[in-house]
Amino acid sequence: MIVGICRETCDGERRVALTPASLTPLIKAGLKIQVQAGAGDEAGFPDSEYQAKGATVVADRAQLIQQADVLVQVRAYGANPDRGFDDLQHMKAGQVVIGHAEPLLAHEQTKAMAARGVSLLAMELIPRTTRAQAMDALSSQANLAGYRAVLIGQDHLPKIFPMMMTAAGTLKPAKVFIIGAGVAGLQAIATAKRLGAAVSATDVRPATKEQVESLGGKFVMVPEAMAEGEGGYAKELTPEQQAKQKALVADVVADSDVVITTALIPGRPAPKLITEDMVKRMAPRSVIVDMAAERGGNCELTEPGKTVVKHGVTLVGHLHIASDVAYDASTMYAGNVVKLIQHLIGKTQEIQWNLEDEITRGVLVTRDGQVVHERVKQAMGA
């Protein structure tokens, strides 16, 4: 079985799906590895390192796609709608494609993959269970993005984070407010605390209060707006709950130097949690880092893919935060992908489609010309 590693074509995406070090267990299992020339360059992995681990470097992208039995990507077609279509014509029926694919939102791309006869495995649908923990790419990438978001906020803030007592006077610590205490939010809390900031955070899931406080953050609770969904994810609030949440959040946002938003709901656009009026109340030197920019942003004024200044506040709508640390992000993502492939092949050299298994069933989106994932079919209205 040939595993093909494509160079990422989405603008701003620097990661690579498999790293040279990650190939060893796959090659030991009897799999052959082909990598597109230059696939790992932007992440810091030259072709020579792949060759040293036993991979074959292929110059022609179309040839690599056509030959691969399993194609691994960071961003498959659904998560790369502008450039991903170019690859579709080279794919073949029965081929397995592994990558982020936005299947709950990218309906037309998902249908096109099904029509091509491709078996699509969407990494963002890995179940959040103990068995699947090593395959959980959302968590591994969110961890790094949360860390990086704090550094982005510090870069744009004309203040330092820690308290500093000097002969010239005392500098107060910066106030950092984090909206959403999932994996990214918790890492952001920990990073901001390590840099010396005074940190507060909020989340709609009651269980996160203890986690926030264990990291040294102050938890801002909106008792009337608590909503935890399936798998530990946040679920969408009612209009009344949203109003109560915004009322409390507004005061904290106004008092903060840096606000980092991480709130996402699976299969939905990002909820709008920060209004223009809230931004107007912030000090003119303040910063908002909107980690939900790819889904439209948690702030009404966020411009996805841009850094802008509005009402004196810097709004950062970075689309690929984990790509800023592409070497480590690729290393972690590759570990997730290898564990998934090992799970799928077992002790064989071929994919074993055991649909009784919750991991296989949970990650498989299309097969045999059909969309087979129940949540995705529901999202499509099927």
Distance from C-alpha of 21 to C-alpha of 55, rounded to nearest angstrom = 11
- Beta pairing, strands 56-58 & 2-5: unpaired
What distances in angstroms separate CA 249 from CA 20, 41, 177, 261, 263, one per listed residue? 45, 42, 10, 12, 13
Query: Strands 287-290 and 258-261, how do they pair?
Result: parallel
Catalytic residue among 233, 241, 255, 327: 233
The yes-or-no answer on residue 139 being catalytic is yes
Q: How far, in Å, CA of 100 to CA of 117, rounded?
A: 18
147 counts as catalytic: no
CB count, 10 Å around CB of 164? 13
Active site residue 128: yes
Does residue 136 carry a catalytic annotation? yes
Active site (annotated) includes residue 109: no
Both tokens assigned to 54: 């036993």
List the catalytic residue out of 87, 136, 203, 257.
136
Catalytic position from the list 83, 128, 194, 281: 128
Q: CA 327, 330, 336 angle in degrees (round to 5)?
A: 150
**Which residues are catalytically annotated?**
128, 133, 136, 139, 233
